[in-house]
């Protein structure tokens, strides 16, 4: 019996199979989106077509990156994996994850900017300025955690993700009264999803990493020097199918490789609405001007007409 068959015979193997099937379905759905939109991207002129093409590429990086990590699962700091291969090493897996996560963050920045400009909502537009910088810092913390095996920086990383998506949620909330119809309900789904994600981070994920960090302190664990850790990430991986080794990873990986990928695909589809977003503007928002120009600021040719004296 080979390694794959052995893995599929226990609970971890069933979970692994589920991840693989979901990732395969996600790839199929991405290709359906690509087929739907790619014909009009080169033919149509303007910003909207190039933006849709960019969103397709960013989504591809995230969808295929998560599929790669689903087929070859690993836990970075613990150096555990399910497949005995260099592709299961933390060096490879973390590199793929970094590119994918930066692309996912860029998708959120693009969609918030797109909707914010259409709605004239400065809160949403300004939120786009901090999304990528925060995630870049989070990725640096993640790399420091896996190189040194210090779980504290995983906690900081996920705290930064929480702050980022709190800002995204505020931006989406500001857009909520500006749209109706399908876009309104997509915004509602996005806000609810972000609220659930934040609850998971605050209640489960960040405390898990903090408890691991405290346990390491009590044991007197030695942290690796970053250069020593870089070599370790490329040369050491521990193959294990024991449920006890994976039980704390199953929840976040399952959500990450399913719901988060669906969000990426949904953002890609929503971006393609660009030419039709005005249809979904709330009537009250359209009727109320975002900003009134004072009379003294009007040009001379727009000055109000002066009353004329009655002719005799």
Write the pLDDT tens digit of every residue in 164-188.
999 999 999 999 999 888 889 999 9
Evaluate whether residue 159 is within a structural domain: yes
Place 149 in a pLDDT band, splitting at 50, 70 and 90: very high
Evaluate whether residue 140 is within a structural domain: yes
Domain limits for position 59? 3-286
Evaluate whether residue 301 is within a structural domain: no
Place 37 in a pLDDT band, splitting at 50, 70 and 90: confident
Comparing 11-20, 223-232, 262-271, 275-284, the range with the smallest average pLDDT is: 275-284
Please give the structure tokens belonging to residue 67.
Answer: 């599929």
Place 278 in a pLDDT band, splitting at 50, 70 and 90: confident
Evaluate whether residue 309 is within a structural domain: no
Give the total residue count for the chain: 312
Evaluate whether residue 216 is within a structural domain: yes
Number of domains in the chain: 1
Over range 143-157, report the average pLDDT: 97
DSSP state of 281: B
pLDDT at 298: 45
- Please write the tens of the pLDDT for every residue from 89-117: 999 999 999 999 999 999 999 999 999 99
Evaluate whether residue 234 is within a structural domain: yes
Does the pLDDT at position 312 exceed 50?
no
Share of the chain above pLDDT 90, in %: 70
Does the pLDDT at position 138 exceed 70?
yes
The DSSP element (H or E) to which 206 belongs, if any, is helix 206-219
Evaluate whether residue 299 is within a structural domain: no
State the sign of the Cα–Cα–Cα–Cα dihedral 256, 259, 260, 261: positive
CATH of the domain at 211: 1.20.1070
Evaluate whether residue 291 is within a structural domain: no
Query: Are 12 and 6 within 8 A, CB to CB?
Result: no
What is the residue-wise DSSP string for 114-150? HHHHHHT-HHHHHHHHHHHHHHHHHHHHHHHHHHHT-
pLDDT at 52: 81
């Amino acid at each position: 019996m080979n390694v794959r068959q052995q893995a599929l015979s226990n609970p971890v193997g069933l979970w692994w199979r589920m991840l693989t099937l979901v990732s395969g379905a996600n790839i199929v759905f991405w290709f359906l989106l690509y087929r739907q939109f790619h014909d009009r991207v080169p033919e149509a002129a303007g910003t909207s077509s190039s933006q849709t093409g960019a969103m397709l590429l960013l989504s591809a990086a995230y969808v295929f990156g998560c599929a790669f990590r689903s087929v070859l699962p690993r836990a970075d700091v613990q150096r555990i994996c399910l497949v005995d291969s260099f592709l299961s090493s933390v060096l490879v897996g973390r590199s793929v994850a970094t590119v994918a996560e930066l692309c996912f963050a860029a998708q959120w920045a693009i969609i918030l900017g797109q909707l914010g400009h259409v709605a004239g909502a400065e809160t949403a537009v300004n939120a786009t300025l901090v999304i990528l910088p925060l995630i870049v810092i989070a990725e640096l913390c993640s790399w420091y955690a896996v190189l040194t095996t210090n779980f504290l920086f995983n906690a900081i990383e996920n705290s930064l993700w929480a702050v980022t998506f709190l800002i995204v949620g505020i931006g989406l909330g500001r857009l909520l009264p500006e749209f109706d119809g399908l876009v309104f309900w997509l915004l509602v789904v996005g806000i609810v999803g972000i609220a659930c994600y934040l609850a998971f981070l605050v209640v489960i994920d960040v405390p898990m990493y903090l408890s691991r960090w405290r346990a390491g302190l009590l044991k007197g664990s030695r942290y690796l020097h970053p250069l020593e850790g870089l070599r370790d990430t490329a040369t050491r991986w521990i193959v294990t199918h024991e449920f006890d080794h994976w039980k704390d990873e199953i929840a976040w990986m399952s959500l990450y490789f399913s719901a988060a990928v669906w969000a990426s695909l949904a953002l890609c589809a929503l971006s393609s609405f660009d030419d039709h977003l005005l249809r979904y503007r709330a009537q009250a928002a359209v009727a109320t001007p975002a900003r009134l120009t004072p009379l003294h600021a009007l040009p001379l040719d727009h000055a109000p007409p002066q009353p004329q004296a009655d002719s005799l």
